Structure 1
C-alpha cells in the first residue's frame, strides 16, 4: 500500500537549493590525509575545516579534558607563528576562526575570502606538526579551562544535572565523562600528557580537510598537497572498544544544588548509525525524536506543556551520527505544582505510547517532512555543510551518508517507529536524573548548554 502524503516530502526534495545538492570531490594524500571539497559559488567566500579523530571519548581515566585543553593550546604558536598570531593573521585577512571539541572529534575552522584559502591551509599545516607546547602557556591555559569549568558546569545547575546523568548512565563507555574533563584531572594535568596526545592524534592520517565555497576542487587538492603532502603521515590510532555492558535495571540519580526550578532528564540506551544492526533503526529513532519534540505541534509540547500543563518545557534529542551507542534523551522542567517525578512518569508514558498507540499517517508524514527540512535547509550554509561532511567522515560513517538522509527518513514507516520504541524504550535501558533545588545558598542563573565546546582564543 502506498504511504499517504508522500507528496509533501517529494515537494521538499524537489525545491532543495542547488548548493545543497552540489557534488563532493575527494582525494587522499599519500600520507593518509583525506580531503573533501564542495563548490558553492553563491558568494566569493570559503569555509576550511580540519577535523581530527580525537575527542573526550578517546580519553582514558586520569587525563579527561586533555583533548579540550590541547584545542586551546593549538592557538599558542609554533616556531614560525607566535602565540595568538594565528588568530590575528586570519582577522587581518578579513576572516574568522575558532575551534570546537566534542566527544568524537576536535575541529578547527576558518571562514574567509576564497582567494585567501592558501594562507589558511599553510597555517593549519604548520600547527599540525610544529606546535610549540610551552610550560608557562600550559599552566595559564589550564587555569583558564578550570575557570571555564567552574562557570559552565559548577555554577550551572542544568550542566551539573547533565554531567551526573551521563556519569550514571554510562559505566564503561567513555560517553560518561565530560568533554571539559573532571576537575581533579584538570588540576593534575601535565604538559607531557598534552605532548603525548598531540603526537599520537594530530597526524595527517588521522585528519580530514573539508573545504566548501567558491573554489575549484583540483586547485584545493593542489594546495593541500603543497602544504600537507610532505608531512609525515603517522598512523590512524587503534582504540579499545570500551563497550557498555548490558544494563540490568533502571537507574536514578538525584542532584541537589541551589537552583531556581527543578529539572528532569531521562535517557534510553540506543544504537546509532555506526552501531545499529539495521540502519533503519537509527532513522526510525530520528523520526521518533521528531514526533515527540520537533516543533510546537509535536507530542511533548502539545500534550505536556499546553495540554496537561505539567511542564513549562519538554524536549527530546537523539545523536544519529555519534561514534558509539548513545542516549535517546527526554528532558523537561515541571510546571506549577507538578512534582519532578510526575513529569518523569509523563515523559516515560509518552515514550511508551510510541510503541503502544497508533501513529497517525498525517502526523508521521508532517513530522518526517519537518525533520528533513530542519536538516537539509541548514545545509544551505557553507559552514553547516562542511560540518556535516567532516563529522560523518571523522566518526567512520563516510561523508556520503549525509546525502542519504532525506530518502532514509522518508522511508521510515509507523511500524518502524513502533518497533524501535518497543525494543529500545525499555525500563532496563533507562536512566533518570532529577534536579532538586536546594533552599539555601546563592541561586545561579540557569543557562542552556551545548554538546560541544567552542571558544574564543
Structure 2
C-alpha cells in the first residue's frame, strides 16, 4: 500500500564489518546547560545545546534498541555551480576517518556493537544513522560526534572514493534511461532553483572535484547550529540529553552560512524535451509547477492548495485500482502499461506535481500524455466523490499508525520535520489537515494547477541498443542518494 503522506523516503542500507568494540569513555567534566524547546503527547522532547545543535528524543520502550540519527540542513541545493555532487561526496568521505578512527573503522565498530548504519543525501538534507542495542547509545554518539567535528582523511582516500561515486552515477543514472530522463526533466523545469542539479552531481563536476572542495563544504556547513540529533527507542530523554552534552555539546559553535534566495521565476509557456537513449519502451513524464506546503498551522491559500494536490495524487494513483490504473492500464484498448502520479509539495525548494506513464503495445508517448491530462481534466470537470476521498484519508491514517511500529520511521519523520522547519508533531497535524480537505478543493486545484504555462514534458525516445549492451530493468530513481 502506498503511503501518500510520507514526508521522507529513507533508503535503508547496512554497512557491517565485524570487530571488537572499543571502550569509549565520556569525559567527566560538566557540560553547558541545554534549553528545552518543545514536546509532544507521544513523549518526544526537543532541546537545544549551548553550541546551537538541537536534540530530539522519542522514547519507545517496546524493545531494547535505539535509532540514533544526525540530520543536517544541507543537501545538493546548497552547492554552487561547478561543485555539484559535493554534498553526496562528503557523505561518502565521512566514513573515511578522523584523527582517532582510521578509514573504515567507523563501520566496523558499529557492527561490533551489534548495530547497523548508513547515510543518505538529498536535495534538502544529509543524514547519518545507526540502529544499535540501547545500552550502546553512548558509544555511537561518541563516534558520530567525533566524525562530525573531526572528519579527516588523506587525499588518496578521496581519489579512490570519488571513483566509487562516479560508478554510482553510472549505475543509477547514466545506465538507466528513465532516471537519466528525469534528471534532464529537472534540469529543464528549473532555471534559477538549485533543484535543477542532480544530487549525485554532473559527471564533469565529479571529474573536476578536489579533496579541498569536500573539506571546504564540511567546514562551511557541518556546524552545530545546522544540525539535529534524533534518538528514538528504549531511552530516557534526560539521560540522552546528558550524553549529547558530553559528546556533541563539546563541539565549538560556528555560524550557519547565509542562504541567498534563489526563487524560480514564473514559467511563461510549456517546455518540451525529447531524451534519446537505448531503451525498450518509451516513457513520458509531465512536471507541473505546484505550490509548496510551508506550514501545518495558520495555513495560507497556497498551503491549502498543496494539501489538496496531495489528496488529488492519492485519488489518481494512491491505491490499487485508483483512477489512473483503471483508466489507462486496464481493458482491451488500454493506453499504458503503467501510470503514476506524485505531489512533491514538501521540501526546501520549489514543488512539482508529476504524472508519468509507459505506453502499452501499439500506443505512443503522446497517447499516454493525452490520457494522463484527460484524467486530471475529468476531475476538474466532474469532481470526486466524498467516499473516494474518505478512502485515501483512511489509508493515510492507517499507514501513519503502522509506520510508528518502526523506530527508524519515527526518527526519520522527526528529522525530516526539523529540516523543513515543521513542528515535532507535523505528521499528526498533517493527517488532521488532510482529513479536512474537501472534494470541492480537490476539484478546484485540478482546474487551476495543470495548465500549459506550468508544464514541462519529457519524453524518452527509445533508440536501438548496441549489440553488446544487455537489456536492463528501466526505472526512475528517487532524488535522494544513499551511501
Shift of 1:402: 2.1
Q: What is residue 71 of structure 2 aligned with on the other side?
A: 51
Deviations 1:158-198 (A, max 9, x none): 11111111111111111111000000010001111111100
Q: Cα distance, 1:277 vs. partner?
A: 4.5
CA distance in 2, matches of 1:161, 1:72: 25
For 1:399 and 1:53, locate their aligned partners in 2 and report how far apart those are by CA, in whole Å.
16
**1:298 deviation in Å?**
1.0
Deviations 1:238-275 (A, max 9, x none): 11111110000111111111011111111111122128
Say if 2:434 is the partner of 1:389: no
Q: Partner of 2:304 in structure 1?
A: 280
Matches within 5 A, 1:75-90: 75-90=95-110
Deviations 1:396-448 (A, max 9, x none): 22333222122111000011112222221221101111111102423541343
- Give the alignment partner of residue 135 of structure 2, picking from 115, 137, 144: 115
Contact residue 292 and residue 302 of structure 2 kept, 8 A: no
Q: Specify the SS of the correspondent of 2:286.
A: strand
2:480 maps to: 452
Equivalent residue number for residue 16 of structure 1? none
Give the unaligned 5+ runs of structure 2: 1-39
The aligned residue for residue 328 of structure 2 is: 304
**TM-score normalized by the length of structure 2:** 0.88
| Separation of aligned partners in 2, 1:32 and 1:393 | 14
For residues 298 and 272 of structure 1, the distance between their equivalents in structure 2, rounded to whole angstroms, comes to: 24
Q: Please give the secondary structure, in 1, of the residue aligned with 2:460.
A: strand
SS class of match (2:169): helix
| Contact kept? 1:271, 1:324, Cα under 8 Å | no
Change (3 A) 1:352 1:167: same
Which of 267, 270, 273 is matched with 1:250 structurally? Answer: 270
* 1:148 positional shift: 1.2
Give the Cα–Cα distance (whole angstroms) in 1 for the partners of residues 119 and 396 of structure 2.
Answer: 27
Aligned twin of 2:236 = 216
1:431 aligns with 2:431: no
Alignment of 1:274-423 (within 5 A): 274=294, 277-307=301-331, 308-423=333-448
User: Residues 370 and 117 of structure 1: is their aligned pair in 2 closer, same or farther, counting only changes over 3 Å?
Assistant: same
Rounded to whole Å, the distance in 2 between the matches of 1:376 and 1:172 is 39
- Equivalence map 1:222-261=2 (5 Å): 222-261=242-281
Aligned to 1:318, the other structure's residue is in SS state strand
SS at match of 1:316: strand
Q: Could you give the per-residue CA deviations for residues 34-89 of structure 1, whole angstroms, max 9, x where no partner exists?
A: 10011111110000110011101111110000000000000000001110100000
RMSD: 1.5
Detail structure 1 runs of 4+ shifted over 4 Å in the superposition: none
- Total equivalences in the alignment: 436
Higher mean C-alpha deviation, range 118-127 or range 359-368: 359-368
1:244 alignment partner, SS class: coil
The equivalent of 2:121 in structure 1 is 101
In structure 2, what is the equivalent of residue 7 of structure 1? none
Cα distance in 2 for partners of 1:273, 1:355 equals 21
Mapped partners of 1:253, 1:293: distance in 2: 25
Residue by residue over 1:104-148, the C-alpha shift from the partner in whole angstroms, topping out at 9 and shown as x without a partner, is: 000000001000011111011101110103211111111111111
Residues 226 and 315 of structure 1: is their aligned pair in 2 closer, same or farther, counting only changes over 3 Å?
same
Once residues 338 and 373 of structure 1 are traced to their aligned partners in structure 2, the CA distance between those partners, rounded to angstroms, is 37
- The answer on whether the counterparts of 1:157 and 1:257 sit within 8 Å (CA) in structure 2 is yes
